[in-house]
Amino acid sequence: MSKSIYFATSNLNKYREAENIIGKNRLKLLKKKLIEIKDYSLENIAIYSLKVLTESFNEAVFVEDSGLFISALSDFPGFATGYVHKTLGNKNILVLLEDEKDRSAYFKSVIAFKPPSKGPKLKLFVGTTNGVIVDKEKGTNGFDYDPIFQPSGSEKTFGEMTIEEKNKFSHRGKALQRFNSWLEEEYW
Ligand code: ITT
């Protein structure tokens, strides 16, 4: 068992979550800011990023694109989730939702994987997690929206969870589990 795969990302928090599921020995980091198109479909964004990346990188590699969709804000921030965190941040998201009764939101994660050129075609793995935006930040673990998102079935926000706990509930954890099962059955 000497095969390994690259995870191309600029986000080390995402990488640590992936390591926890796929295993440190099998994963390598390709630290890179990917080219991302603006599109309502996270699938299209992930496929495009991977396509551009694999024009010049010919190893087994995956990318992961994710987004937060808040019901009361008509699914904002969606494909602009990263940008909105950098600009508005959690505090202003909470202000936008002040006095709002419907706190429901979901996270979605799409993994796009491409084996080296002679292998099978591109594969997609998706995970979604429903939950609520809490009324104040809770916890200091994780990154970005983690302190304000509480998944259904938990009393904790992602910000109050360890990586192992978050992976059991999270959109990325679910997509990674599906990817990992496929790797075990079809790839390694
Ligand atoms: P890449 O280099 O892999 O693209 P990124 O952080 O820019 O890393 P995305 O383009 O997928 O990742 O942006 C999604 C944004 O959504 C991300 O920057 C966070 O702000 C937010 N997000 C996604 N998953 C999250 C999670 O599990 N916890 C908190 N915020 C999350």
Per-residue pLDDT of the chain (188 residues; tens, 9 = 90+): 568 999 999 999 999 999 999 999 999 999 999 999 999 999 999 999 999 999 999 999 999 999 999 999 999 999 999 999 999 999 999 999 999 999 999 999 999 999 886 666 899 999 999 999 999 999 999 999 999 999 999 999 999 999 999 999 999 999 999 999 999 999 99
Check pocket membership of 66 for ligand 1, CB cut-off 6 A.
Answer: yes
Helix (H, G, I), strand (E, B) or coil at 107: strand
Whole-angstrom distance, CA of residue 122 vs CA of residue 178: 15
Q: What share of the chain is helix, strand, coil (3-state, %, to 5)?
A: 40, 25, 35
Whole-angstrom distance, CA of residue 77 vs CA of residue 98: 16
At residue 46, the pLDDT reads 98
Minimum CA distance residue for ligand 1 atom 12:
65
Residue-range domain boundaries for the chain:
5-187
Domain 5-187 class in CATH: alpha beta
At residue 116, the pLDDT reads 83
Check pocket membership of 143 for ligand 1, CB cut-off 6 A.
Answer: yes
Check pocket membership of 139 for ligand 1, CB cut-off 6 A.
Answer: no
At residue 120, the pLDDT reads 60
For the record, the structure tokens of 86 come out as 């950098």
Q: Choose which residue among 81, 133, 165 to substitute to test ligand 1 binding: the one with the highest number of ligand atoms within 8 A of its C-beta.
A: 81
Q: Choose which residue among 144, 169, 171 to substitute to test ligand 1 binding: the one with the highest number of ligand atoms within 8 A of its C-beta.
A: 144
